[in-house]
Amino acid sequence: MGIEKLTDKEEKQEKIVKMFDNIAETYDLANRVLSMGIDIQWRKKGCDKAFEILGKSELEQITDVATGTGDLLIYWKEQAQKNDVNIKRYVGIDPSVGMLEVAKKKVDFADFIEGKAQALSIESESTDVISISYGIRNVVDRVEALQEFYRALKPGGIVMILEFTKQDRSGVVDKVVDFGMKRILPRIGGLISKNYEAYKYLPDSIEEFLTTEMLSQELEEAGFEMKYTKSFSMGISTLLVAQKK
């Protein structure tokens, strides 16, 4: 039996996963330094908005895809308590073994699964929420992933996405933000992680990614109804919340 050759998409996905394996140990520190901690508020806002739209006091399951080191799961639990929502089960899914190893040390209340966004190892209509923070642009088969999210969500379930979406940067402030993302971010991230290429990838991947409008359209084409979009910090980060019809 011959060895199957990876497709270009599969090779690209494997390269991204290996990159995250390599920076897993320093990932949290780099995130906090680069965002000056403001990403925490972005994440909490996403959790609160999802709970508000669902309007339920008890949920069977929250599934965090591309969970990385499990940061968002911590905020899901914190915001659930603040919103008086009882969550029976938390699940984190990520293709990076290195990231999951860090997550398991931090988060003792969730189940973790090694897996890709486009092939979730959970049953159909089994989860109330699927979240993915700063990970959807790293999913090469994004359309397949959105279809998979739809399959796994219960009717009326929520998908919550936080992402660095592509912006039309033409003003003076926009140019300053652009300079910071392309010049300063890779240097600081590279210094902390000892992996300059990984943090050069971040602004490059944003430039190659979609606008908020395009991502919203893809969600609608997958069967979701857009419920909420909001940009943070001069358009650096965008929150999108959609509901399974």
Using the predicted structure, report yes or no on whether residue 139 has a pLDDT greater than 80.
yes
pLDDT band at residue 97 under the 50/70/90 scheme: very high
Q: What percent of the chain has pLDDT over 90?
A: 56
- Per-residue pLDDT band at 167 (split at 50, 70, 90): low
Instruction: Provide the token pair at 137.
Output: 């642009």
pLDDT at 132 over 60: yes
pLDDT at 243 over 80: yes
53, exposed or middle or buried, with CB in 10 Å at 0-12, 13-18, 19+?
A: middle
Share of the chain above pLDDT 70, in %: 74
- Binned at pLDDT 50, 70 and 90, residue 138 comes out as confident
**CATH class belonging to 8-165+211-244:** alpha beta
Q: What's the whole-model pTM score?
A: 0.81
Confirm if 88 and 76 have CB atoms less than 8 A apart.
no
State the pLDDT confidence band at 16, using cuts at 50, 70 and 90.
Answer: confident
pLDDT at 2: 42
> Left, alpha or beta for 204 (phi > 0: left; psi -120 to 50: alpha)?
alpha
User: Which of 48-57, 94-103, 127-136, 179-188 is least confident?
Assistant: 179-188
Per-domain boundaries in the chain: 8-165+211-244
How many C-beta atoms lie closer than 10 Å to residue 143's C-beta? 12
What are the start-end ranges of the E strands in the chain? 58-65, 86-94, 110-114, 127-133, 153-163, 224-232, 237-244
Task: With both helix axes pointing from N to C terminus, report the angle between 212-221 and 142-152 in degrees, rounded to the nearest 10.
Answer: 50
pLDDT, position 234: 64
pLDDT tops 70 at residue 71: yes
Encoded tokens for 58: 């008890």
